[in-house]
């Protein structure tokens, strides 16, 4: 099993140098260095659900509180949770890093 970051799994093109950065901007998950290594990801690539301004369903998502309901149903979130058990870093721990 290959560990993927959200931008690789979702193929969104918002990582630095990605195909859609001119149109949609660089995703904050791809540059959030405070979460580098969380759940074995690069920057916020495996902690995107806790980072404001990521994109889902073609729309930029707001704050953690506003988007976590959607994230809990996300295939990528569920995959990371399965892959990282029992060492999955929870949202609370991730938020401690970035606030």
Q: What is the pTM of this model?
A: 0.92
Q: List per-residue pLDDT tens for the chain, 99 residues long.
A: 689 999 999 999 999 999 999 999 999 999 999 999 999 999 999 999 999 999 888 888 888 888 998 999 999 999 999 999 999 999 999 999 998
- Cα–Cα distance between 80 and 5 in angstroms, integer? 9
């Amino acid at each position: 099993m290959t560990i993927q970051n959200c931008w690789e799994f979702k193929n969104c093109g918002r990582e630095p140098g990605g195909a859609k950065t001119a149109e949609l901007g660089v995703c904050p998950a791809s540059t959030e260095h405070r979460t580098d290594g969380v759940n074995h990801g690069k920057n916020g690539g495996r902690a995107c659900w806790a980072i404001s301004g990521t994109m889902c369903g073609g729309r930029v998502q707001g704050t953690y509180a506003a988007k976590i309901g959607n994230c809990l149903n996300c295939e990528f979130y569920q995959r990371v949770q399965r892959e990282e058990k029992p060492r999955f870093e929870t949202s609370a721990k991730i938020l401690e890093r970035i606030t």
